[in-house]
Amino acid sequence: TKKIILDTDPGIDDAMAILFAEGHAAVDLIGITTIFGNATIENSTCNALYLKQKYGMKADVSMGADKPLLRPPVGPTTTVHGETGFGELQVNAADVKLSADPRPAWQYIVEQLKAQPGEITLVAVGPLTNLALALQHEPGITKLVKEVVVMGGAFGVNGHQGNVSPFAEANIHDDPEAADIVFTADWPVVIIGLDVTHESFFTPEYLDKLRDEAGEPGRFIHQISRFYLDFYQRSLGISGCHVHDPSAIAYVIDPSLFTLRKGPVRVVCSGPAIGHTMQKTYERRHPHDDWSDMPAQSVGVGVRDEALLELYRNTLI
């Protein structure tokens, strides 16, 4: 089994990813660290604790950053994920009896990596602030992690460029400086961005089947996805939603679902393309070159979407 810490902003597709990780025998979900993004940090943490309580999960929950590394706070994405992150469902904080680990997320990450060197995969499916803070506090963690898997970014493969601006994906746009730190650190990063997540869909029929056949988790996923489907229908004219965050978990379980491309990755941190992710995929040194000495990271450029959907369904049902 692979031990993972999931850094997440639950979030509808984040909840889908959490239940996927919890449900698959090849994954040992040891910790959930929360981040602002789809909801405020208070709501994303409350939502994570709610899932832990509801499903009797053993994972620690540790609260992360409430704002980007250098920039002012960004508001929650209420049009996509609802007022508090779970669509129409508003978790009542008074019903959540569990409390978060006393350590902030960055510290939790550092201490777990130190305690279990080479054992833990970090999976990040929200803005990358907690990971950047962990790197800033303890640069040595680059040698302790097994792998870093990120859902975020868009590299223009298959025509997919952005979802919150023409050239930026939400998780990276919400904290571009943090993402640039994470992608240029000397540790192995796999980036599962819109290039692949926009290639796979949970259709209404697929989600109905989960409701009918995947027990309580299936009914819960169905319930919170109503709002998400409405958003896709209203704003994109699509019947179905993209499989964003669960794709990062799918990669951990079965890397062969994805085709990867190697090369250094950087993030645009100002101007009209802020939050844009780019990968250098050819050999040549330029006069102005702060890329060539960066570590080569892996970017997802292809996905076997039918197999991914089947893996998700078989895990939940």
Under rule CB under 6 A, residue 80 binds ligand BDR: yes
Nearer to ligand BDR, 87 or 126 (CB): 126
Where in 226-265 is the site for ligand BDR (CB under 6 A)? 244-245
Closest approach of ligand BDR to the CB of residue 198, in Å: 9
Under rule CB under 5 A, residue 11 binds Ca ion: yes
Under rule CB under 5 A, residue 125 binds Ca ion: yes
Q: In this structure, how many other beta carbons lie within 10 angstroms of the beta carbon of residue 198?
A: 20
Among 59, 110, 151, 190, binds ligand BDR (CB under 6 A): 151
Among 33, 112, 161, 163, binds ligand BDR (CB under 6 A): 163
Residue 9 is a catalytic residue: yes
Under rule CB under 6 A, residue 14 binds ligand BDR: yes
Phi, psi of 225 (to 5 degrees): -80, -10
Is residue 225 helix, strand or coil?
A: helix
Q: Which range binds Ca ion by CB under 5 A, 65-73, 124-132, 228-236, 292-300?
A: 124-132
- Run of H or E including 159: none
Nearer to Ca ion, 78 or 116 (CB): 78
Percent helix, strand and coil across the chain, each rounded to 5?
45, 20, 40
Under rule CB under 6 A, residue 276 binds ligand BDR: no
Residue 245 is a catalytic residue: no
Among 4, 5, 13, 227, binds ligand BDR (CB under 6 A): 13
Residue 200: both structure tokens together: 């796979």
In the list Ca ion, ligand BDR, none, the entry touching 170 (Cβ below 5 to 8 angstroms by class) is ligand BDR
Under rule CB under 5 A, residue 64 binds Ca ion: no
Distances (CA, A) of 53 to 7, 47, 48, 80: 18, 10, 9, 25
Pick the closest to residue 274 from 193, 174, 135 (CA basis).
174
Pick the closest to residue 65 from 133, 17, 116 (CA basis).
133
Q: Which residues contact 314 (CB under 8 A, 6 or more apart)?
A: none
Q: Is the dihedral of CA 37, 39, 40, 46 positive or negative?
A: negative
Residue 3 CA to residue 168 CA, distance in Å, equals 30
Can you give the C-alpha Rg of the chain in angstroms? Answer: 18
Residue the block writes with tokens 């892996």: 298
| Marked catalytic residue, from 24, 81, 160, 244 | 244
Under rule CB under 6 A, residue 51 binds ligand BDR: no
| Marked catalytic residue, from 9, 174, 195, 245 | 9
Closest-CB residue for ligand BDR?
A: 170
Nearer to Ca ion, 195 or 245 (CB): 245
Q: Which range binds ligand BDR by CB under 6 A, 43-51, 99-107, 163-171, 220-228?
A: 163-171
Residues at the interface with Ca ion (CB under 5 A): 9, 11, 14, 125-126, 245
